[in-house]
Amino acid sequence: MQARPALEVADIFRAHGSTWRDAQRGHLSLAQLKVMSAITQCRTAALGGHVLRCDGCGQDEVSYNSCRNRHCPKCQSSAAKRWLDARQADLLPVEYYHVVFTLPAPIADIAYQNKAALYGLLFDIAAETLLRIAADPKHLGAHIGATLVLHTWGSALTHHPHVHGIVPGGGLATDGTRWVACRPGFFLPVRVLSRLFRRRFLEELQRLHAGSRLRFFGEHAALAEAAAFKAWLAPLRRCEWVVYAKRPFAGPQAVLAYLSRYTHRVAISNSRLLAMDERGVTFRWKDYRAKGGAKGKTRHKVMTLSPQEFMRRFLLHVLPGGFHRIRHYGLLANSNRRDNLALARQLLQVTPPPPEAAADNGSDSPRPTFVCAHCGHAMTVLQVFLRECSIRAPPAP
């Protein structure tokens, strides 16, 4: 059992959330209020729990329930493990590439006011860009697959929407008779990806505006007018849009290790929090623009924010209800993933995974198992209690 961090996001919400929530009345969405409540109550008597007894040493223990909110730093490790177990059967014995698509800062500003529409557009245009360039005979000439994961934050909790794409290094030929592999160490030309991504995103953004499907507030209110919006878009057609590809992963297991860190990540983990005192909330962050050291590695820094500013930044990244932040496209689309992967393995002449590994149970919620922190034996549930009920003494063994 891991030791509880000295400071958690929940502690900050408990200490300062009530006063700040009252001060921000009318400015926080229902989704943000629900996230604050869930994180504050997570693994406390407010959500109920279990009385457990160790089968080995007989020690009793109370285990409180998790909130299971996808923005909670404490709940995502178990959710990530369940999801990754289901993805084991999807891996192919090929190189995998990591591609990142980032929205320019001006568009990120209006994306915050139109989260569902523009985050969804970011997903779809990034996927379309990858699939179209890969299908072009001048590049790969194959139908590929991609898993995309949305992150909306920078390391300092600022609003920085981008998608991480995990892509197999190859795809099915258009006639489905062979596997077309990428050149070793090279996926697709980044400059070509960037140009198509920019053009297609701006085309669809203009279409959303013409259909009155965008909202503008505050300093951006004037963009509701067609002429103002067109003038605002003009410089975005000329600036560089950031799309980059990292080196290929060192084998499929490295892909899983990477996914375990990225798929269910939240804006900040409890392990990055250092202190909460009269100066504010202090946490570690990475300054990706400042390179230091002999190898030019990213510089690690410490930042202190007021509790109010810390909570504001954390809640910038609450997603709309029902919005999926992990999506699969092309060969990996949920509708035909199993058949496509079976054909890919056949063409690659590799053995398919056993049926039990191939079953996609990522959406299931398996019965939790409890292990004694003292002796490592399994623990038996003696009693279930709900929402701050009194905990009766367990029966004698």
pLDDT of residue 46: 87
Handedness of CA 386, 387, 392, 395 (dihedral sign): positive
pLDDT tens per residue across span 115-143? 999 999 999 999 999 999 999 999 999 99
pLDDT digits (tens, 9 = 90+) for 277-310: 999 999 999 887 776 554 556 688 999 999 999 9
Give the mean model confidence (pLDDT) for residues 98-111.
Answer: 95
Q: Model confidence at 358, in pLDDT bands (50, 70, 90)?
A: very low
Q: Is the pLDDT of residue 360 over 50?
A: no
Residues 6+ apart with CB under 8 A from 19: none
29-78: pLDDT as tens digits: 999 999 999 999 998 888 888 888 887 787 778 878 888 888 998 887 66
Q: Assess contact for 259 and 90: CB atoms under 8 A.
A: no
Distance set, CA 183 to CA 120, 131, 167, 246 (Å): 31, 17, 14, 15
Looking at residue 387, what is its pLDDT?
61
User: pLDDT band at 388, cuts 50/70/90?
Assistant: low
* pLDDT value, residue 277: 94
pLDDT tens digits for range 194-231:
999 999 999 999 999 999 999 999 999 999 999 999 99
For 200, the enclosing helix (H) or strand (E) is helix 190-210
% of the chain at pLDDT higher than 90 = 58
Q: What is the rounded average pLDDT of the residues 359-383?
A: 62
Token pair recorded at residue 99:
């591609």
Model confidence at 193, in pLDDT bands (50, 70, 90)?
Answer: very high
Structure-block tokens of residue 365: 């919620």
- What is the chain's Cα-based Rg? 24
One DSSP character per residue, 265-322 reads --SS-GGGEEEEETTEEEEEEEEEEEEETTTTEEEEEEEEE-HHHHHHHHHTTPPPTT
Q: How far apart are CA 52 and CA 377, in angstroms?
A: 12
Assess whether pLDDT exceeds 70 at residue 336: yes
Span between the terminal Cα atoms of the chain, in Å: 24
Q: What is the pTM of this model?
A: 0.85
Give the CA distances from residue 210 to residues 114, 222, 282, in Å, rounded to whole numbers and listed in that order: 15, 15, 44
Is the confidence at residue 316, as pLDDT, over 90?
Answer: yes
